[in-house]
Amino acid sequence: MDFYCPIRKLVIEIDGSQHYEKNAVEYDAVRSNYLEGLNLKILRFSNGDINANIEGVLMKIRSEL
C-alpha cells in the first residue's frame, strides 16, 4: 500500500514498471483480493497516470472520499 485512509477504508496503490511483470501481476491480484475481502476499496494508478494526469488522479481520489 502506498497510502491508506482507515476512516474511509481506502487503499491507494501507485504502480511502477515492476508491477507489470508476470509475478508481480499475480501477486498484486492475490493481495488485492485479500484487501477487498477486508472490505477495503483499492484505487490503483500507474506512475504514468501520476506523471501525465495528476489532476485526473486527484479527481478520482476525491470522488472516492
pTM (whole model) above 0.85: no
- The full set of domain ranges for the chain reads 3-64
* Cα separation, 51 vs 37, whole angstroms: 30
Average pLDDT by stretches of 10, the chain with 65 residues:
94 79 81 95 94 96 94
Distances (CA, A) of 52 to 14, 48, 65: 13, 6, 22
Q: Say how many C-beta atoms besides its own lie within 10 A of residue 11's C-beta.
A: 21
Give the pLDDT confidence score for residue 21 in this predicted structure.
Answer: 66
Look up residue 19 and give its amino acid: H
Give the pLDDT confidence score for residue 28 in this predicted structure.
Answer: 86
CA 24 to chain centre: 14
